[in-house]
Amino acid sequence: MKGDRVEIVVDAGDTTRTYEVVASRAGRRVETAVRRGVVEVSEVTRSGTVVRTARFMANRVLALVEQPIPREESSDKAG
């Protein structure tokens, strides 16, 4: 959903760096995957097409924080 974001904190030697991947348009979402020592964070469309991907070495990632936007419940819409 638009507004979903993932924050990645990476060890950069003597300091840390923070990166963000944000779902920039309606209907897009952010997915995370850890494969073979690599953390991938991708922005994906409704049809599953990857728009952009950020890749980090897993042993350098200090924190991976997923921050979804609050969803409205269907009961709130009816009332």
pLDDT(1) > 70 = no
Domain boundaries, the chain: 5-67
pLDDT value of position 25 = 86
Terminal Cα-to-Cα distance of the chain (whole angstroms): 23
pLDDT(79) > 60 = no
Per-residue pLDDT tens digits for 18-58: 999 988 888 888 999 999 999 999 999 999 999 999 999 99
DSSP class of residue 4? -
Burial 52-79 (b: 16+ CB within 10 A, else e): eebebeeeebeebeeeeeeeeeeeeeee
pLDDT value of position 68 = 78
Q: Is the dihedral of CA 61, 67, 68, 73 positive or negative?
A: positive
d(CA 42, CA 21): 7
